[in-house]
Structure 1
C-alpha cells in the first residue's frame, strides 16, 4: 500500500541537553533507566557525553536529508529528560498540535513556547490543544511515548499505565480522530511497560512489536489482528530486543527515501530476517547513543516528528 509518507515525517524537533542526567523522579516505574556506576548521576562528564551523542545523531539525520529543528536546553531549570521532547507535544496533519500533561513534576518544565512558536511560523498550524492543565487533577498522557499512533489507520495503541489516563486518551482520540486501542502489559520483571513506544514502533510497511508484553491473551490477539489488518509486516520483538530498545524506533523520510532511525544497540539486536523486511522499504539509520539510553529512552523518545504542512 502507498501511505504517501503519512507515517514517516520529513522534519523533526530535537532538544540538545546541556545538563543531562538520569531522572530520579521517573526511576520508580521506568525499568529501562540505569544509574551510572563510578561517577555521580549528574556529572559533567555524563552531560558532555550525552551532548556529543545528540550532536552526532542530529548530524546523521541531517545527512540523510531529514529536516532537524534543534533547540538547546541550557539547564536553567531542573529538566534532566529534556532530550525526550516527544512526550510533551505532538503534531498532526491538518495543522494541529497537542500539548500533554506529564507525570513527573520536573518533566512539566520541559514544555516551552519557543518550540510551538517555531512550528507556527514555519508550518501551517490551525489549532493548539493544551491538555497540560489536567496535571492538577493527577491525570497524565505522555504524548507519543504513551501512545503509538498509526496515522494511516487512525489508531492509537496504548499500554495501560498511570502515564496514559483513559479519560484524557478518550478526549485526545475524539479531538484528533483516532480510535483508542488500549491494553494491559507486563514485562519480565512483572511490572507494566511504562511507555508504549518502547515495545512498539509503527512504520509505513512494517511494525516492530513485542506482543508477548500484552498480558491479556484476548487483547493480544486483537492487537495482532489490527496490526496485520493494516497490511503491514508484523515483526515480533522478544523481551531481550525490547530491553535493547528495538521497539523505540521512528521511520522518517529523507532525501533518498524512508529511513528507520534507531539506536546502534537496537540495530544490533535485530535478526537478519527483521533487517531484510525493514530494508525492503527503508534504510536502517543506527545512531550511537549509549549515554542517553541510560535515562530510559532511546531514539524514538528523542525525536518529535513534524506532521505539518510547511508554509
Structure 2
C-alpha cells in the first residue's frame, strides 16, 4: 500500500479475512516486503483482471509498480498488459492513480478510456488485447472517467445471470448507445453514492472489490 495509514488497515483486516476462509485451502501471497523498497501494487485498484484469459491490466503509477506487477504475474500465472494513463489535475497531466478508474473488464465487454493513454503504441496494444479476448470495447472519454464510468464491476448470481454495478453518476454519464451495449449481456444496477464519490474519491468497484 502506498499510504502508510492504509497499511495499518491491512494489519487489522487480514486476521478477519483468514478467519472467514479458515476451513478452506487458501494460498496467501504476501508481497508487502516491496514496501521497504518504496514499490507498491494496490490490489484490485491497481490491477484490473481478466480472470478468464489470465491478463492483468495495469496502468503504471506510484501506486502500481512494474516490478511488483511482474512478481504478481509470475506467482499467479497471469500475463501483464501494462501502460501509462494520465488525466489533467490542477492544470497538470498526472498519472491516473488506479487502473480501475479508467477501465473495467466484464465477461463480454470492456469499459476503457483509450483517450487517457498518451502513448499510441501502448494504446494500440491495449486495444488489440481486448479485441483478441473477444470482448466488445466501450470507449469512454476523460470526462466520463470523472463521472466514474470506468469504475464498474460485473457480478453473476447463482443462476448465471450477469449484473453490471455502477453509481448513479456513472449511469447518467454513459451515452444511450453505451448503455445499450451493456444491456445486451448484463442487467444494470446503480445507486446514488455521490457523498462517497465526492469525499472518498472512489465509486462502486472500489467499494465492492473482488473477494471470491
Partner of 2:22: 120
Distance in 2 of aligned mates of 1:117 and 1:177: 26
Classify the secondary structure of the residue corresponding to 1:125: coil
The equivalent of 2:123 in structure 1 is 220
1:103 corresponding residue in structure 2: 2
- 1:63 corresponds to: none
Q: 1-side partners of 2:211 and 2:45: how far apart? A: 15
Unaligned runs of 5+ in 1: 1-101
Q: Supply the distance in 1 between the matched residues of 2:37 and 2:178 (Cα, whole angstroms).
A: 43
**Per-residue CA shift, 1:223-258, capped at 9, x if unaligned?**
001101111110000111100000001100125611
Residue 153 of structure 2 corresponds to 250
Partner Cα distance (1:192, 1:126) in 2: 34
**2:128 is the counterpart of 1:229:** no
Distance 1:231 1:161, change over 3 A: same
CA contact (8 A) 2:55 2:81 kept: yes
Structure-1-length-normalised TM-score: 0.63
Instruction: Indicate if the aligned counterparts of 1:261 and 1:285 stay in contact, CA closer than 8 A.
Output: yes
Contact 1:198–1:245 under 8 Å retained in 2? yes
Q: State the secondary structure of the residue aligned to 1:133.
A: helix
Structure 1 residue corresponding to 2:196, chosen from 274, 285, 292: 292
**RMSD in angstroms over aligned alpha carbons?**
1.3
Deviations 1:82-105 (A, max 9, x none): xxxxxxxxxxxxxxxxxxxx0001
Identify the match of residue 163 of structure 2 among 232, 238, 259.
259
> By how many angstroms is 1:152 displaced?
1.0
| Equivalent residue pairs, number | 204
Equivalent position SS for 2:210: strand
DSSP-derived class of the 2:88 partner: coil
CA deviations over 1:119-160 (Å, ceiling 9, x no partner):
334xx3331111123212211100010111111111111111
Q: Distance in 1 between matches of 2:209 and 2:87?
A: 26
Q: What does residue range 1-311 of structure 1 map to in structure 2 within 5 Å?
A: 102-111=1-10, 112=13, 113-121=15-23, 124-189=24-89, 190-255=93-158, 257-294=161-198, 295-307=200-212
Structure 2 gaps of 5+ residues are none
Cα distance, 1:187 vs structure 2: 1.0
On the 8 A contact 1:148/1:200 being kept in 2, the answer is yes
For 1:237 and 1:119, locate their aligned partners in 2 and report how far apart those are by CA, in whole Å: 37
Deviation at 1:305, TM superposition (A): 2.0
Rg larger in structure: 1
Check the 8 A contact 2:44/2:210 in 1, yes or no: no
2:170 match: secondary structure: helix
SS at match of 2:21: helix
Give the TM-score taking structure 2 as reference length.
Answer: 0.92
SS at match of 2:137: strand
